[in-house]
């Protein structure tokens, strides 16, 4: 009987050793099959990867071009800034009547020159105001009428460009203008 028990133990240990090895082999085989299936189904091929990279490159180049165009548009956009309000009382040369002119002047410039203009305007504001007062005071009564303000605008623009270092202003206009006989 002892021989039977010993023989049974040997066969059980041999069978359990083969069963454990079989389980390990089966587990490794299943893992390998799963990895192969995942590689086949989830990882893109070289053609798909290159197409995706090319698409991303095209999108980034187009976005860069659009950003550059928008920046150029923003820089070239025209900005309006107030130069000041001017009121002058004067008497034309050939008459004894007294007139009062009230004009609010604004300047037009490109957006990229706005900061340069503001710093120069702050430095030379007194000279600019004096020159504009002089241009208004020396104008004829006919030039100050509503239909002939273009000549005064050109004179003020020329004087401002002359006083500023660069031609920062593109144009000058009047927000409001009044010619009042006193």
Q: What is the CATH number of domain 78-181?
A: 3.30.479
User: Rounded to an integer, what distance in angstroms lies between the CA atom of residue 103 and that of residue 129?
Assistant: 12
* pLDDT tens by residue, 13-58: 555 556 788 889 999 999 999 988 888 888 777 888 888 888 988 8
CA dihedral defined by 127, 133, 139, 142, rounded to 10 degrees?
Answer: 140
- The β-bridge partners of 89 are 100
Domain ranges for the chain: 2-74, 78-181
Produce one character per residue of 111-137: b if its CB has 16 or more CB atoms within 10 Å, e if not: eebbeebeebbeeeeeebeebbeebbe
Give bridge partners of residue 50 from the DSSP assignment. none
Q: What is the pLDDT of residues 61-92, one digit of tens each?
A: 888 888 877 777 767 788 888 888 988 888 77
């Amino acid at each position: 009987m002892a021989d039977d028990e010993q023989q049974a133990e040997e066969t059980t240990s041999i069978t359990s050793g083969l069963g454990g090895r079989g389980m390990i082999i089966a587990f490794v085989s299943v893992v390998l099959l799963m990895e192969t299936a995942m590689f086949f189904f989830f990882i893109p091929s070289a053609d798909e990867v290159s197409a995706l990279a090319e698409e991303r490159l095209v999108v980034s180049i187009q976005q860069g071009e659009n950003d550059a165009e928008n920046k150029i548009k923003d820089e070239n956009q025209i900005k309006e800034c107030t130069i000041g309000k001017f009121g002058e009382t004067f008497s034309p040369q050939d008459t004894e009547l007294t007139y009062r002119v009230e004009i609010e002047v604004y300047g037009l410039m490109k957006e990229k020159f706005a900061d340069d203009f503001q710093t120069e305007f702050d430095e030379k504001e007194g000279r600019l105001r004096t020159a504009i007062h002089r241009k208004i005071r020396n104008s004829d009564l006919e030039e100050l009428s509503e239909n002939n303000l273009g000549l005064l605008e050109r004179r003020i623009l020329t004087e401002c460009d002359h006083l500023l270092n660069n031609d920062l202003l593109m144009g000058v206009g009047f927000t409001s203008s009044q010619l009042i006989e006193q």
